[in-house]
Amino acid sequence: MRILVLGPGAIGCYVGGVLALAGHEVQFAARGATRDAIAAQGLKLLGPRGDFTIRDVRATTDPADALGADVVLSCVKLYDAVEASREWQPALHSAGAVVSLQNGVDGLDRLRQGAPEARGFGGLAFVAGRLEAPGVMRYLSDMSSITFGGPGATEDPVLRPFADSINHAKGGMPFAATLVEDIASAQWTKFLALATNAALTCLTRSPAGAIYGDADLIALARQSIAESLAVARAEGVALPDGHAEAALKMLQGLPPDMVASMHHDLVAGKPLELDGLSGLVSRLGRRHGLPTPFHDFAFACLKPHIRGNAGASR
């Protein structure tokens, strides 16, 4: 299938690279040093399951050169989702399906602001890693899957073959796809842990091993999860009580040296996805009259860094 990847960061490079290894025709929407690196050396995936150099990929700066993809995967940061979808609108509108793989739960809403006529679907990625250089991604664990969908997705003539092509691929890197009708529940299930880990690793400047073995910080993690769970239910998302303990167990099972992607951005002086994580929980809490003290605190403390170095200098 023809796949267009918006956002050749850590997630975009990993997912696009794995799909190329599986035989898909992969093109990246990329600029500057990233476009040049992909053109010169392809992609490099480095990690515990082996190192891979993938040369059979392309990069373009021109939306007109990316028309007619079967599937577009939007992997840009949350704060870039509206602008990127607007810039690449012709390609998104011409695609068979567009899947938002942003962190958080509102990536599809942002994508639709920029490309309202796209056949958009929500999604999420389970990948741990960081971008070491343009076109070079280091993956840190065995997590290697995506979940995507929405109403009608399981029988969709584009998404169903796409999911099957991932799950039936031979060779390359292990990778799995789950196609679901209720994408909101899947996104919020991940979000309980994601928003907690992003806030705590940034606030403490510490990795998972230092956080989820400390009784006081575990108590904060439980509070964070409970606040997210409450606003999810207020939004009409069906999440039973067991999801709270499952989220904490997931966090406690993270590699000891792992930090959230937002922590990498904070340390590097880059903009933060804070508005779509703790910021979202705080806004929804106010909308529904629910207290969210942990996420209010996290948002307030990290807000000075939300624009990266540019924001800190103001």
Region 40-49 average pLDDT: 93
Rounded to the nearest integer, the mean pLDDT of the chain is: 94
pLDDT digit string (tens) for 107-161? 999 999 999 999 999 999 999 888 999 999 999 888 899 999 999 999 999 999 9
Give 265's pLDDT tier (boundaries 50, 70, 90): very high
For the domain spanning 2-181, the CATH number is: 3.40.50.720
For the chain, give the secondary structure using H, E and C: CEEEEECCCHHHHHHHHHHHHCCCEEEEECCHHHHHHHHHHCEEEECCCCCEEECCEEEECCHHHHCCCCEEEECCCHHHHHHHHHHCHHHHHHCCEEEECCCCCCHHHHHHHHCCCCCEEEEEEECCEEEEECCEEEECCCCCEEEEECCCHHHCCCHHHHHHHHHCCCCCCCCEEEEECCHHHHHHHHHHHHHHHHHHHHHHCCCHHHHCCCHHHHHHHHHHHHHHHHHHHHCCCCCCCHHHHHHHHHHHCCCCCCCCHHHHHHHHCCCCCHHHCHHHHHHHHHHHCCCCHHHHHHHHHHHHHCCCHHHHCC
pLDDT computed for residue 141 by the predictor: 85
Same fold, 2-181 and 184-312: no
Planar angle of CA 148, 170, 129, nearest 5 degrees? 55
pLDDT computed for residue 280 by the predictor: 98
Domain 184-312, CATH 1.10.1040.10 — does that match?
A: yes
pLDDT computed for residue 310 by the predictor: 61
Region 184-208 average pLDDT: 97
Domain boundaries of the chain, sorted by first residue: 2-181, 184-312
By residue count, the chain amounts to: 314
pTM over 0.75: yes
Position 171 pLDDT exceeds 80: no
pLDDT computed for residue 255 by the predictor: 87
Give 240's pLDDT tier (boundaries 50, 70, 90): confident
pLDDT computed for residue 248 by the predictor: 97
pLDDT digit string (tens) for 70-86? 999 999 999 999 999 99
